[in-house]
Amino acid sequence: MRAMILERTGERLRQVDWSTPTASAGQLLIHVSACAVCRTDLHIIDGELTQPKLPLIPGHEIVGKVAALGEGVTRFKIGDRVGVPWLGWTCGDCPYCKNSQENLCDQAKFTGYTLDGGYAEYAVTDQRFCFPIPDSYSDAQAAPLLCAGLIGYRSLVKAGNAKRLGIYGFGAAAHIVTQVAKYQQREIYAFTRPGNEEAKHFALNLGAAWAGGSNEFPPVKLDAAIIFAPAGELVPLALKATAKGGTVICGGIHMSDIPSFPYAILWQERSICSVANLTRRDGEEFMTLAPKVPVRTQVETFPLENANEALHRLRDGKIQGAAVLLTNP
């Protein structure tokens, strides 16, 4: 099969002819049709996430059809369309798993990081961590739901009943979260890279009440803020923009160091929290909610062999919505 592999961090992906994997007990062999490109992929390729399986096939927002079943598979049948997210396996036995916190499992394995992912024509995955894809989405439109949507949804839940919600970093996750938040009758205040007028217009067109640079302050105090940009210096800015009792949620898997800040901007029961991975419950809830909103993903598609171009454009902030690789464009 064709695959794009990472041989060493800090290097470009290389296209190779790779052996097609075989589904073991409890696994599905998926014929991949689409795989979205996530900023986490950049963190892996750049070596900011330090424990990848090498060589590695990246990609953890996979949509495809079941091509073969491993022994004991009961949840799906051949030909079913499924989605594969970041969380690829958990032990089921540790205190976190037993406490409905499988996203924190000490032995967890992750698609496109410690398990081969979807930048290829085929992928194998544990049947327990796959989701049926709503019929209303094409393969390309569904792919960003598997991480940008799921992590965005988990971040939004952490915001509680916040009415005025700030979103820092207006990329794939933000453009999905904005639609869900508007459906929930919240007000969105979007923060983009300074000078990025296209991103501001994108946010406003999706229904944001206000859009400005990340170095600006909104016209009202926020009840909560979600930071998707991997920039630690945004945390103090978000705290300053947040009202008493508000929460700042760090929604990424990697962030640069947070600079020191005065206690005064945290005081009055403001709080900071992070979001780690996802649970299967998140996936089930979000895949039910998304068609009701309905969430519409904006995607820019690339052939599989152009993965490096898609990653480069994402790094430079030149993707509106999400980039998606197609195995058969």
Q: Give the model confidence (pLDDT) of 303-319 as tens digits.
A: 999 999 999 999 998 99
pLDDT digits (tens, 9 = 90+) for 224-271: 999 999 999 999 999 999 999 999 999 999 999 999 999 999 999 999
pLDDT digits (tens, 9 = 90+) for 93-141: 999 999 999 999 999 999 999 999 999 999 999 999 999 999 999 999 9
The dihedral built from the CA positions of residue 295, 296, 302 and 307, taken in this order, carries a sign that is negative
- Residue 195 — pLDDT band, cuts 50, 70, 90? confident
Segments making up each domain of the chain, as ranges:
2-149+278-326, 150-274
Q: By three-state DSSP, how is residue 137 classified? A: coil
Domains 2-149+278-326 and 150-274 share a fold: no
Q: Rounded to whole angstroms, how far apart are CA atoms 289 and 153?
A: 10
Contact 240, 233 (CB under 8 A): no
Of the chain, the percentage scoring pLDDT greater than 70 comes to 100
pLDDT score of 329 more than 80: no
The average pLDDT across 272-278 equals: 96
The average pLDDT across 25-36 equals: 98
> In the numeric block, which tokens belong to residue 61?
């927002």
Q: So what's the pLDDT on residue 196?
A: 87
Q: Rounded to whole angstroms, how far apart are CA atoms 158 and 250?
A: 10
Q: So what's the pLDDT on residue 283?
A: 96
Contact 1, 11 (CB under 8 A): no
What are the backbone dihedrals phi and psi of residue 317, each rounded to the nearest 5 degrees, phi first? 70, 30
For domain 2-149+278-326, the question of CATH label 3.90.180.10 is answered with yes
pTM of whole model > 0.85? Answer: yes
> What is the largest distance, in Å, between two alpha-carbon atoms of the chain?
58
Q: 150-274, which class in CATH?
A: alpha beta
Give strand pairing partners of 31.
65, 122
pLDDT digits (tens, 9 = 90+) for 34-51: 999 999 999 999 999 999
